Structure 1
C-alpha cells in the first residue's frame, strides 16, 4: 500500500527503475579518454624519494587495455576473479580498469595483512589470475613463501603479471617470469581497443571482503549496475564537474577505494595520489592545500588525520564525502574551520550495498556559519540517493514500516545492491530479501513492455537477470526524523564498528578458540579507563596442557630469565593474579591472532578466567565478566627491565610521565615502552598537566591533547610522534596510528526500552496531609543539595519522617555518613534521631530495587508516601553510558517501587542541563521563556553532557509513567550555590572553581551572560514544596530572581580585594592555557579549573548561555506551602553580591581560597566566619555534588 503524499517516509512500493543501466564504468572511462586523451587523469604527487608523476587519460586507457587483452588472451573469462597484490597509486588504477575491461572481477590483497590472512582471502576468492604491483613488492616485500606455496598447491592460476608498473613515459610493463620477455609485450599491439567482452548490470566487477562469523571473511560480489548509476545524479546534486581534483585516501583493500577511482574517471576529472609520508596528522592538510584538492572521500578516522593540523587552510576543497563510521559534529566543525568552502556529506552504506547509498549534506561555513549549532552530536545517515530508500522496519512485524521517531532495523532498497555473498546462499537468503511491500512481478511486466517497445534488446541484457526488487537487511538500528532523514542508533547483532572498521566478534572468537591451550573464550566490546571502546577477549585455559607447555617454555629459555616465574595457580583467585600467572599464554594468544586477523581486530585486552560465570540457562553470563580497574592493570603490567631499547626521546618522556605517575608507585625506570599511559594509572587530569610539559621540553613541538588522550598512548607511540614533529622528513618513526573518539551513545534512543519496562499500570497516590505525617524515601542525602533537602524536610513543623537511602556497609555506617555530611554543612540536629524522624535504609542506585534488602524494601513499599529522588552521579566528563545506571535505571526502579504496595507519589530532582540546547537559547532570545510544560523535544538530540542526557531520559520516563497513573512531579534547578547565611559552599562546583581559577590566573573573563544560580536553601525548599504540593505531571523550574551576570559574579572578587581584573574572553582563555602549560609555581596548587580545561578554554560564553525560565508552578507550590509563608521558613530567592561575599568568606575560612591581598574597595566586606572544630573536621571528609547512593 502506497504512503500518503504528506508522509516523509519513503514509499516502499515505488518504482526504483531497475532496468536503467547507465553502462559499464570502464566503457564510460574509455569514452572519456577518447574525448580528451591528453587530459590529466592520475597524478602521483612529489615525495621525498620521487618527483611528481602525471599520467593522461590516454596513458591509463591504453595501459589498462593492454592488461585487459593479456588477461583475455590467457584464458581469463567473464566473471572470474583476478587478485591484485596492491599499492596505492596509478598502478592500482591501471590494474582495476584492466580487469574490468576483461570482463573479470577484481579483488585486492593488502600487503600489510599477515600471510595466513592473505591465504584466507585467496581461498575465498579462488582467483584465476594474479597481478602483483611492483611498488607493493618493493615497499612491502614480495608475496610471502607461505602465500606462494598456497597458490601453487591450491589454486589454478592461468596467468600472472608479476611486476605491473606504469612507466614515466606512460608505457606499461608487467615484468617477466623466469627471465623471459615482459609478460605484457604480446598485448601491446592491442592498446587502442577494449577486448569487447560484454558485461551487464548483473555482471560482477568486484569481490570485496567483510567480516565473517566462522573465522573466514565473507566475499561480497559487486554488480556493474551501481558502479556508474549514481554519478550523473551526484554530479548535478553536489556540483561535481570534470575540473575536480579528487584525493585518493581510502584503504587499498577496502571497498571505499572504488569510489576514489570511479568518480573522477566517470566525470573526466583528475585523481591525485599522496605519498605515504604525507598521510600523517601534521602533513595531510598541507598536502591537500598544496595540491588544490577539491573533492575528497574520507572515513571519519582518515578525517582525523586531515584535521590533525589547523593550518594551512584548504580553500579549494568544496566537497567532502564521509562514509564508514559515525560522523560527529565536532569533526565537521573542525573541517569547516580548515576548509570554509567545503560542503560536508555524511553518507551511509556497507559492502553489501556496494557503495554509500544515502547522504546528509551540511552547508559550508561560508554559506551558513550557524548550521551546525542546531545539529545533534552525531550526524544523521540522511536519505537515500537517486532510486535508493532507507526503510526503517519494525523488528517484530517486518511488514510494518516504523513511524517517525520509532526505532527499527534499517533495510536498504535499491537496484544497485551487491549480488550477494560468494558461495553462501543461506546468508544471501537472510540478508538480501525480496521486497514484501509490493509484488515484484509488476516490475518484470513493465520491463518486458519496455523491451518490446524498443524492438530489440540491448546487448547487456544477455547478462541481466531482470528486475529484482530486493532489500538489504543491514543489521543497523535507526529511526526516521521528522524531516524524513534517517539517523542510526546502533547495531542489532554482534557485529561492531570500532575506529571505522567493521569487526565480527565471532570471527575473533573462532580464531582464538583454535589456540591449543584455550578451552573457552568470548570477546566483548568494553569501554576502557579513557572511555574508549576496546575489544576484550576473556578465555579459560586448559590447565593441564598449559602446565606442560609452560614447562617446555622454561626448559627452552636460557637461564629462565625470559619466562615469568608465575606458574603457581593455586592462589590465582583475583583478576590481577590471573593476569600475572597467564601472562605468557596471553602474549602467545595475542601473537596467534596477529597472524590471522587485521591489526584492528586484535583485542586490546585478554583476561584469563579459571571458569566463566553462567546464567541460569547455562550460558556465559557476559554481564558478570569482570573488567579490571586501573590498579588491577597496573599490578599485571610487567615492569621495564631493559632500558637499552629505549630511544632518547622515550627516556626523556618517561621522566615526565613518572613525575605524575609516582603516586602509582612508578619511577622512570619501571615504565614499559608499550603499555598504555592509562593502564599505568594515568588519567585525564594528568594528561592536561603532561601535554604542556612535553611541549615545553621539546621546543618547536606542539603535541595536541588528542595524542595523549587517544586510545593507546604509550611511551613508544608518543615519542614517535615527538620525533616525527622534530624531524618531519624522517622515515624511521613510521606511520602514526590514527586516533579518533568514539561517539557517545545517543541518549534518546535509550528511552523506548525503559518505557517498555515501566509497570503496565501504576496506582495514583494521594498524599496524606502534612499534619497527619508524610513518610518520605529520600535518595542522595549525602550530597550537597541532598543534605539541605533532608534539613528542610526535618526542620518543618510538623517534620516529615525521612528514610534516607545511603550506600554503606551497615546502618550504623550509613547514619555516620549522613551525620558527617550534615555536620560539615552546619545542619546536623541530634533530635532527628532521638525523636525518630530519621531512619537509614541501605541501598545502591545502580542496583535493582535501588539496592534495598528484603526487609527495607518491604518497609518502603508498605510505609512510604513519597519518594524524593535526588540521588544521582554527577560528572563533568563522563558519557551517558557511564552515568546511565545510577541516573536513569534508578529512576525506573523508583517508579517501580511507587507501583508496588502502598501507592506513592514520586518527585524527581532534575537539572536545567536538560535545556542546554540552542533551541531554548534562541527561544529565550526571542522573548519567550522556556515553559514548565515544555516536553523537551528541543533538546532531544542536542545535549552534549552525559549528565544532562541522563536527566533528559529520566524526565521523559517520568512523563510516560504519569500517563500510566503515576502521581509524579519534576523539579528542575539550575546552578545550586551555597548557603547565603552561613556561606557554606560546595568546592566541587563549577562556579566556585571559576572564582578560584580567576584568582589563580590573576584575571577574570568578560562574559556578560546571566547565571541561573540559586541558593541551596531555596532549591531545597522548592524541592520539598513541589514534592508535596505540585500537581501530578507538573514541572517546577527553580529560577533566580533577579539573576547576576558572570561579570557581576566574578567581578565581586575585585570588590573584595582580589587582583582579578576583567579582560576579553580570548585573552583570558590564552592566559589559562599558559598557566597550565607553565605549571603552578613552587608550593602552589594546580589550577582549580584543570578538570574543566577544555570547557573553559574552548567557548565559555557560548557554553554558558542560559535561557529564561517560566517558574509559575514553582511559585504556586511555594505559595501552597504554609511553612514557606512563615518568617522562620523563608529562603532567599537569588544569589546576590552579598551572598557571594558570604561564599568567599567561607571558602577563605576553609582554606580553599587565599585571603584577599588588599582591602575591600566597596561598601561590601567579607563577613566573619566561625566554624567549630567538628565542622572543620567533617568538611575535610565530605564533598561532591552527586550524592549517588
Structure 2
C-alpha cells in the first residue's frame, strides 16, 4: 500500500461515512438489534442478567424519567456506577432521553470528581444512593438514584420513545488528563461512535454468539468499544467486578467459565493473563479475538502465548487509538513472526474512514522512514473539548490536504514513522504525556497539583523504567525555603486525595535544584534514578513467614530490602509484578492464596498475618465449602444460559 503525497495511510472509503436515517444514533441502533434478538442475554453480572428485551424496556422507563428534567439539546447526564447492569441501563437511557452520558468513575478522589462535575455542569446526576452521598455535589442539579427511585422508574411506560437526538448530537463526554492540572472533556457524537463499528465490520464478524467482557471503567474510552461493539451485534456483555479486574487468576477463570470470545485488553493487563497460563494448568479458553489498545505493545512478550495457542485462534490485533478520534485509529493483526523477530512497535494501517498524516512542525509531510507527528483526520474526529475553545483550536486544526471542504484533523502529540511496507511504527509521545497501564497521563497535571503542596517550590514527574515491571512514575521536587521538611509519604497521601491511583508516583526525590541544559531548560535526562535505601529492620526481627514473603518481594522488585510495614505499591510494585509475586508465593508456600488478598494486605506484616489466619484448619474448611457453593451456582447459571441460547 503506497503512501500518498500527504503521507496519508487512508484507503478505499469516503471519510464522511453516511449512516442510514433509521440508525442515526447508538440507542436507535441498539433498538434494531434488540428487535432481532429480544430473548438473547444482553448484559450479565454474576447470576444476574437482562435480555435485550428487558434492557430495552428498563432503559425506556429510565429515559422517560430523565426527560421530565427538561434536558437541553446536547445536555449532559453524569453516570456514576460500579460496573453493573444499572450502568448499562443508565448509559442507554441517557441516550434515549436525547442527552449525552458523562461517565464518572466512583473510585476517583472526591476532589477530582467535583472538578469534572463543576466543569461539565451536568443537568442530572444518575447514580446509586450510597455513591450519591459520596460524590454528588450539593449543587450538582437533580440526582436520580436507581435503587432509591426504582419504584418511580418502574411505573413509567416501557414502550418505544420518539427520537430526541440525531447523528450529530453528543453521545458521550469522557474526561482525559490535562497538562495544566485541569482534566479536559472530549465531546464525541453519535456519528463519531457509530461509524467506528460500521467501518471496521469487514475486519470482524461479531455476532449474537459472541461473549464480550466489560473489563474497563466506563470513564476509559476502551469501554465504548466493549459496550457498543457487543450490544450493536447481539452479543452477551459480561460485567467484570472490580476485584476480578485486579485478579488475573480470577479474571482468567471468568473468561473460561463464561466462554468469552471477544476480549479487549491493554497490553499490561494481557501480559498478566499470559503469566497465569504459564504458571498453572488453566482451563480452556474460547477466545476468537484479543484486541489491544491503550499503550504500546511489546510483541516479544507474546511469545509464551503463541507457543500455547498459535497465532490464528484467537486472532490478536493491535489497535492504536485516541479518545479525541473515537477509541481506535489503526488495525494490525499480530503474528508469531512479530513475536519472534519484530522489535518495533508496529500499529498497522488506519481504519478506512480515517486519514493519518505524519507531519513536521510546519505541517509538511515527512518522507517514509522519517519521524513525524501523527495527525488524524476523517469521520472519527470528535467535536472538540468541552468548554475549552482555546485548547480545541490548538489541537483540532484544519486539514490542509482536503481542499474541497473545510474539515478538521486532530494533532495527537504522538510520534511515528512509516515503514516501506506501509505499516506505522509508533515511537511514543512528543510531549510530556505518557501511557501507563493503558491510562493516558499528562505529567504536567501531576506536576501542577504537586506544586500546590505547601512545602513544594518546584516539581517534575517522569515515567521511568529503572527496574522490573512497567514504567513507573517518579516525582522530583525542590522544597520551599524556609518551610518544614516533607516526606515521601506526606506527598503521596496529598496526591491520593486529588488524583486517581494510576497517577500517583511511587517514588519522591528531593533535590536542591533541578539540573539544567545549556539552554537553561530542565535536563530531564540528568535526573537521578530513585534512591533505594536499605531498611534498618533486620531479618532477625521478622517471623519465618515474613522473611519468606520479604525474600520474594525483594527478588521480584529488584531491591535489597523492603520494610515489613512498607506498602508494596509504594516501593515500586505494580499489578503485573504482583501477579509474579502471587505465583511465587503459591509455589513457595504450597498454599492457595487469593490474589485479592495481595491487593488488600499490601505490607509484609499484614499479609503474613492474613496467611496465618486463613491457613488455619477451620478457615480452610470454610473456604473449601464456599468454593464448592460458588461452583454449584456457576454450573446452574451456565445451564440456564444454555436454555436461553437454545430458545
How many Å apart are 1:260 and its aligned residue?
Answer: 1.1
Measured in 2, the distance between the counterparts of 1:729 and 1:119 equals 43
Q: Is the CA contact (8 Å cut-off) linking 2:300 and 2:338 kept in structure 1?
A: no
Measured in 2, the distance between the counterparts of 1:728 and 1:385 equals 54
Q: Is the CA contact (8 Å cut-off) linking 1:313 and 1:339 kept in structure 2?
A: no
**C-alpha offsets along residues 1007-1047 of structure 1, whole Å, 9 cap, x if unaligned?**
xxxxxxxxxxxxxxxxxxxxxxxxxxxxxxxxxxxxxxxxx
Measured in 2, the distance between the counterparts of 1:10 and 1:87 equals 40
Measured in 1, the distance between the counterparts of 2:318 and 2:48 equals 32
Measured in 2, the distance between the counterparts of 1:619 and 1:544 equals 25
How many residue pairs match? The answer is 604
The 3-state SS of whatever aligns with 1:41 is strand
Q: Is the CA contact (8 Å cut-off) linking 2:255 and 2:285 kept in structure 1?
A: no
**C-alpha offsets along residues 138-160 of structure 1, whole Å, 9 cap, x if unaligned?**
xxx5532xx44xx224x4x1x32
**C-alpha offsets along residues 292-330 of structure 1, whole Å, 9 cap, x if unaligned?**
111111111321343342143544211111110111223
How many Å apart are 1:502 and its aligned residue?
Answer: 1.3
The 3-state SS of whatever aligns with 2:332 is strand
Measured in 1, the distance between the counterparts of 2:603 and 2:343 equals 29
User: Do structure 1's residue 260 and structure 2's residue 226 form an aligned pair?
Assistant: yes
Task: Give the superposed CA RMSD.
Answer: 4.0
**C-alpha offsets along residues 197-219 of structure 1, whole Å, 9 cap, x if unaligned?**
1322x211101011111111111
The 3-state SS of whatever aligns with 2:376 is strand
User: Do structure 1's residue 361 and structure 2's residue 263 form an aligned pair?
Assistant: no
The 3-state SS of whatever aligns with 1:31 is helix
Q: Is the CA contact (8 Å cut-off) linking 1:69 and 1:195 kept in structure 2?
A: no
Q: Is the CA contact (8 Å cut-off) linking 2:345 and 2:426 kept in structure 1?
A: no
Moved more, 124-133 or 332-341: 332-341
Hey, what does 1:543 align to over in structure 2?
A: 481
User: Do structure 1's residue 673 and structure 2's residue 569 form an aligned pair?
Assistant: no
User: Do structure 1's residue 435 and structure 2's residue 399 form an aligned pair?
Assistant: yes
Hey, what does 1:698 align to over in structure 2?
A: 589
**C-alpha offsets along residues 1098-1138 of structure 1, whole Å, 9 cap, x if unaligned?**
xxxxxxxxxxxxxxxxxxxxxxxxxxxxxxxxxxxxxxxxx
Q: Is the CA contact (8 Å cut-off) linking 2:25 and 2:165 kept in structure 1?
A: no
Hey, what does 1:333 align to over in structure 2?
A: 303
Measured in 2, the distance between the counterparts of 1:345 and 1:724 equals 44
Measured in 1, the distance between the counterparts of 2:285 and 2:556 equals 42
How many Å apart are 1:275 and its aligned residue?
Answer: 3.5
Structure with larger Rg: 1
User: Do structure 1's residue 297 and structure 2's residue 199 form an aligned pair?
Assistant: no
**C-alpha offsets along residues 1070-1110 of structure 1, whole Å, 9 cap, x if unaligned?**
xxxxxxxxxxxxxxxxxxxxxxxxxxxxxxxxxxxxxxxxx
Measured at CA, do residues 261 and 338 of structure 1 come closer, stay the same or move farther in structure 2, by a change above 3 Å? farther
Write the mapping of 1:655-674 to structure 2, written as runs, cut at 5 A.
671-674=564-567
The 3-state SS of whatever aligns with 1:116 is helix
The 3-state SS of whatever aligns with 1:160 is strand
User: Do structure 1's residue 589 and structure 2's residue 556 form an aligned pair?
Assistant: no
Measured at CA, do residues 25 and 724 of structure 1 come closer, stay the same or move farther in structure 2, by a change above 3 Å? farther
**C-alpha offsets along residues 355-399 of structure 1, whole Å, 9 cap, x if unaligned?**
112110136xxxxxx544554145411101121222222x24423
Measured in 2, the distance between the counterparts of 1:429 and 1:725 equals 58
How many Å apart are 1:511 and its aligned residue?
Answer: 0.6
* Matching residue within 307, 310, 319 for 1:347: 319
User: Which structure is richer in relative contact order (CA contacts within 8 A, separation 6 or more)?
Assistant: 2
Measured in 2, the distance between the counterparts of 1:306 and 1:724 equals 28
Write the mapping of 1:761-910 to structure 2, written as runs, cut at 5 A.
none
User: Do structure 1's residue 474 and structure 2's residue 464 form an aligned pair?
Assistant: no
User: Do structure 1's residue 161 and structure 2's residue 144 form an aligned pair?
Assistant: yes
Measured in 2, the distance between the counterparts of 1:292 and 1:377 equals 33
Q: Is the CA contact (8 Å cut-off) linking 2:178 and 2:444 kept in structure 1?
A: yes
Measured in 2, the distance between the counterparts of 1:356 and 1:308 equals 27
User: Do structure 1's residue 197 and structure 2's residue 157 form an aligned pair?
Assistant: no
Q: Is the CA contact (8 Å cut-off) linking 1:281 and 1:304 kept in structure 2?
A: no
Hey, what does 1:420 align to over in structure 2?
A: 384
Hey, what does 2:100 align to over in structure 1?
A: 105
* Matching residue within 653, 677, 680 for 2:549: 653
How many Å apart are 1:284 and its aligned residue?
Answer: 1.7
The 3-state SS of whatever aligns with 2:323 is coil
Measured in 2, the distance between the counterparts of 1:657 and 1:384 equals 42
Hey, what does 1:399 align to over in structure 2?
A: 364
**C-alpha offsets along residues 237-290 of structure 1, whole Å, 9 cap, x if unaligned?**
222222211111112321111111101111122212234443312222221112
The 3-state SS of whatever aligns with 2:118 is helix
Measured in 2, the distance between the counterparts of 1:63 and 1:724 equals 45
Q: Is the CA contact (8 Å cut-off) linking 1:703 and 1:722 kept in structure 2?
A: no
Q: Is the CA contact (8 Å cut-off) linking 1:431 and 1:474 kept in structure 2?
A: yes
Hey, what does 1:322 align to over in structure 2?
A: 292
Hey, what does 2:636 align to over in structure 1?
A: none
Q: Is the CA contact (8 Å cut-off) linking 1:295 and 1:317 kept in structure 2?
A: yes
How many Å apart are 1:592 and its aligned residue?
Answer: 1.0
Measured at CA, do residues 642 and 16 of structure 1 come closer, stay the same or move farther in structure 2, by a change above 3 Å? farther
User: Do structure 1's residue 33 and structure 2's residue 28 form an aligned pair?
Assistant: no
* Matching residue within 138, 149, 160 for 1:152: 138
Measured in 2, the distance between the counterparts of 1:660 and 1:44 equals 34
The 3-state SS of whatever aligns with 1:356 is coil
How many Å apart are 1:421 and its aligned residue?
Answer: 0.7
How many Å apart are 1:133 and its aligned residue?
Answer: 3.6
Write the mapping of 1:840-989 to structure 2, written as runs, cut at 5 A.
none
Hey, what does 1:831 align to over in structure 2?
A: none
User: Do structure 1's residue 523 and structure 2's residue 461 form an aligned pair?
Assistant: yes
* Matching residue within 195, 209, 221 for 1:243: 209
Measured in 2, the distance between the counterparts of 1:4 and 1:598 equals 43
Hey, what does 1:286 align to over in structure 2?
A: 253
Hey, what does 2:436 align to over in structure 1?
A: 498
The 3-state SS of whatever aligns with 1:37 is coil
Measured at CA, do residues 484 and 647 of structure 1 come closer, stay the same or move farther in structure 2, by a change above 3 Å? farther
The 3-state SS of whatever aligns with 1:230 is helix
The 3-state SS of whatever aligns with 1:511 is helix
Measured in 1, the distance between the counterparts of 2:60 and 2:265 equals 30
The 3-state SS of whatever aligns with 2:106 is coil
The 3-state SS of whatever aligns with 2:202 is helix
How many Å apart are 1:128 and its aligned residue?
Answer: 0.7
User: Do structure 1's residue 389 and structure 2's residue 355 form an aligned pair?
Assistant: yes
Measured in 1, the distance between the counterparts of 2:69 and 2:519 equals 59
Measured in 1, the distance between the counterparts of 2:388 and 2:482 equals 39
Q: Is the CA contact (8 Å cut-off) linking 2:345 and 2:427 kept in structure 1?
A: no
The 3-state SS of whatever aligns with 1:43 is strand
The 3-state SS of whatever aligns with 1:241 is coil
Measured at CA, do residues 233 and 723 of structure 1 come closer, stay the same or move farther in structure 2, by a change above 3 Å? farther
Q: Is the CA contact (8 Å cut-off) linking 1:349 and 1:356 kept in structure 2?
A: yes
How many Å apart are 1:525 and its aligned residue?
Answer: 2.6
TM-score, normalization by structure 1? 0.47
User: Do structure 1's residue 604 and structure 2's residue 602 form an aligned pair?
Assistant: no
Measured at CA, do residues 208 and 641 of structure 1 come closer, stay the same or move farther in structure 2, by a change above 3 Å? farther
TM-score, normalization by structure 2? 0.83
The 3-state SS of whatever aligns with 2:60 is helix
Measured at CA, do residues 43 and 334 of structure 1 come closer, stay the same or move farther in structure 2, by a change above 3 Å? farther
Measured in 1, the distance between the counterparts of 2:379 and 2:261 equals 30
Measured in 1, the distance between the counterparts of 2:407 and 2:202 equals 26
**C-alpha offsets along residues 557-585 of structure 1, whole Å, 9 cap, x if unaligned?**
xxxxxxxxxxxxxxxxxxxxxxxxx4x44
Measured at CA, do residues 717 and 96 of structure 1 come closer, stay the same or move farther in structure 2, by a change above 3 Å? farther
Q: Is the CA contact (8 Å cut-off) linking 1:234 and 1:240 kept in structure 2?
A: no
Which structure: greater strand fraction? Answer: 2
**C-alpha offsets along residues 903-923 of structure 1, whole Å, 9 cap, x if unaligned?**
xxxxxxxxxxxxxxxxxxxxx
